[in-house]
């Protein structure tokens, strides 16, 4: 019925209806695209750490897992978490995602960064050489301490903790003669073994080769902090950790006793404009890489979205709680994101088009009736003139106008549903014509009477 009604409309009316629908559709699509996020990038840059470091090892795993989903990951090696943090702060650095750790970021600089997930605990290992058993950081006063190279996560974290313990480098105002040595990694451990320094501080996992090497050296001691409970009170990004006796090696009982430690968490961070689809993909990879139990981690504890020291991405938190969407669970990444965008575009489009199509029959009926009723109005005026005119009657004018109306009505294409209204209009035209012709007879009789007189 609707198609018949549309066919009955003039070509101009059909064009107008099509134009209105197209304009509405275009407006909806434009508005949706403005609000819609762009397509997810298929290429990202991840800042890791020094070659051979644990960050770099994990970055290779992320590259492999994301590559399976069609996303290319370029791994950029750096000196560590401090460098990674600075790269994230710079939008022109080209880095999209980076490994950082708690204690590196500082507000308000970090306001545009978000944590995608915490990945694992990063204990602070305090190795030293001394005849005594040292139990507090401030007992290192006056000693030579390796705190990592500039740009490393170890240096960023340890500097704050040493300052809290009143340890300042020689040359500072209070001159406590503590020597802060800019060494890290294997260089720091070698210097400790050679007695060139008194203590070396490292931040990293227990399975790091460097840490394993230090733990198994009988000449080097690992500090157990008697005030480990105090640090999380002053530093929210710090966690108290315990390394039970024999955890590293049950056969040789390493360590020989429980060690009270502190540490922070390694995090995957990004700027707050990272595409949500990529965040979801990174979270899935993090679950596979970091979800197992470790020396300090329980199975399933990581990845986590409890805040460490920078805000948590709401997309990451939602994804961790609810998991991947139905489409991402059963489709390749690129296809799932494309289908999601298509759905987001189609839903508002359907929401506009369906009501418009429901209103279309009413519009067609109104348009068809208006074309018929237009001539009803003109015919009514003519009929009133015929009925009320006195004196000289413009019979020819009336008949020409009637003929014009009749021709116009005959050209109106009306669907079957409006046939009766068009037929009624033609009947009314015939009635008015008969009235005009009747007036013609009246005029003729009046003329004959005048002649007789």
- Whether residue 404 is predicted with pLDDT greater than 60 in this model: the reply is yes
pLDDT of residue 447: 43
Decide if 117 contacts 312 (C-beta within 8 A). no
Check whether 344 has a pLDDT greater than 80. no
Is the pLDDT confidence value at 324 over 90? no
Percent of the chain with pLDDT over 70: 75
Band (pLDDT 50/70/90 cuts) for residue 241 is very high
- Name which residue leads in pLDDT, 319 or 146: 146
pLDDT band for position 382 (50/70/90)?
confident
- The two beta strands, 97-101 and 43-47, are parallel
Read off the pTM. 0.68
pLDDT tens for 291-312 read 999 999 999 999 999 999 999 9
Predicted local distance difference test score (pLDDT) of residue 111: 87
Among 266-280, 301-315, 420-434, which is the least confidently predicted range?
420-434
Confidence of residue 453 (pLDDT cuts 50, 70, 90): very low
pLDDT for 36-52, tens place per residue? 555 668 899 999 988 88
Residue 309 in contact with residue 102, Cβ under 8 Å? yes
Cα(42)–Cα(264) distance, integer angstroms: 32
pLDDT of residue 318: 86
Q: What is the pLDDT of residue 207?
A: 86
What would the 3-class secondary structure string for the chain be?
CHHHHHHHCCHHHHHHHHHHHHHHHHHHHHHHHHHCCCCCCCEEEEECCCCCCHHHHHHHHHHHHHHHCCCEEEEECCCCHHHHHHHHHCHHHCCCEEEEECCCCCCCHHHHEEEEEEEEEEEEEEEECCCCCCCCHHHHCCCEEECCCCCCHHHHHHHHHHHHCCCCECCCCCCCCEEEECCCHHHHHHHHHCCCCCEEEEECCCCCHHHHHHHCCCCCEECCCCCCCCHHHHCCCCEEEEECCCCCECCCCECCCCEEEEEEEEEEEEECCCCHHHHHHHHHHHHHHHCCCCCCCCCCCCCECCCCCCCECHHHHHHHHHCCCHHHHHCCHHHHHHHHHHHHHHHHHHHHHHHHHHHHHHHHHHHHHHHHHHHHHHHHHHHHHHHHCCCCCCHHHHHHHHHHHHHHHHHCCCCHHHHHHHHHHHHHHHHHHHHHHHHHHHHHHHHHHHHHC
pLDDT score for 433: 86
Structure confidence at residue 359 (pLDDT)? 64
Give the pLDDT mean for 352-379: 70
Please tell me the predicted confidence (pLDDT) of residue 381: 85
Residue 331, number of CB atoms within 10 A of its CB = 15
Q: Rounded distance, CA 290 to CA 300, Å?
A: 8
381 or 444: whose pLDDT is higher? 381
pLDDT at residue 264 greater than cutoff 50: yes
Instruction: State the Cα torsion 440-444-449-451 to the nearest 10°.
Output: 140
Over 80: is that where the pLDDT of 86 sits? yes
The 10s digit of each residue's pLDDT in 163-193 is 999 987 654 545 567 899 999 999 999 999 9
pLDDT of residue 186: 93
Q: Quick check: 396 pLDDT over 90?
A: no
């Amino acid at each position: 019925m609707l198609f018949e009604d549309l066919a009955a409309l003039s070509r101009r009316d059909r064009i107008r209806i099509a134009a209105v629908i197209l304009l509405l559709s275009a407006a909806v699509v434009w508005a949706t695209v403005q609000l819609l996020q762009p397509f997810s990038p298929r290429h990202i840059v991840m800042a890791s750490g020094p070659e051979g470091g644990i960050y770099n090892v994990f970055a290779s795993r992320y590259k492999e897992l994301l590559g399976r989903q069609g996303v290319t990951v370029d791994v950029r090696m750096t000196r560590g978490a401090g460098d990674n943090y600075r790269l994230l702060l710079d939008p022109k650095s080209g880095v999209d995602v980076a490994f950082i750790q708690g204690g590196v970021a500082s507000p308000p600089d970090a306001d545009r960064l978000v944590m995608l997930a915490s990945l694992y605990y990063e204990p602070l290992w305090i190795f030293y050489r001394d005849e005594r058993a040292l139990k507090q950081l401030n007992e290192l006063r006056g000693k030579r301490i390796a705190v990592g190279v500039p740009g490393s996560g170890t240096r960023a974290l340890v500097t704050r903790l040493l300052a809290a313990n009143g340890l300042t480098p020689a040359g500072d105002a209070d001159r406590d003669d503590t020597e802060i040595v800019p060494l890290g990694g294997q260089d720091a451990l070698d210097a400790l073994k050679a007695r060139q320094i008194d203590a070396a501080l490292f931040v990293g996992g227990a399975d790091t080769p460097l840490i394993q090497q230090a733990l198994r050296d009988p000449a080097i001691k690992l500090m157990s902090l008697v005030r480990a409970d105090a640090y999380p009170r002053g530093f929210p990004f710090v966690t108290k950790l315990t390394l039970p006796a024999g955890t590293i090696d049950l056969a040789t009982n390493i360590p020989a006793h429980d060690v009270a430690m502190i540490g922070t968490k390694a995090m995957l961070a990004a700027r707050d404009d990272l595409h949500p689809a990529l965040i979801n993909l990174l979270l899935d990879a993090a679950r596979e890489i970091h979800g197992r139990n470790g020396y300090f981690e329980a199975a399933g504890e990581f990845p986590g979205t409890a805040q460490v020291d920078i805000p948590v991405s709401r997309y990451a938190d939602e994804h961790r709680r609810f998991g991947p969407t139905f489409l991402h669970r059963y489709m390749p990444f690129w296809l799932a994101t494309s289908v999601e965008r298509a759905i987001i575009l189609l839903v508002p489009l359907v929401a506009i088009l369906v009501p418009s199509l429901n209103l279309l029959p009413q519009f067609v009926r109104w348009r068809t009736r208006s074309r018929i009723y237009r001539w009803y109005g003109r015919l009514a005026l003519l009929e009133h003139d015929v009925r009320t005119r006195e004196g000289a009657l413009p019979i020819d004018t009336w008949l020409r106008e009637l003929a014009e109306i009749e021709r116009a009505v005959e050209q109106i294409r009306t669907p079957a549903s409006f046939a009766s209204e068009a037929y009624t209009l033609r009947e009314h035209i015939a009635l008015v014509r008969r009235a005009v012709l009747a007036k013609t007879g009246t005029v003729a009789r009046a003329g004959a009477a005048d002649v007789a007189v």
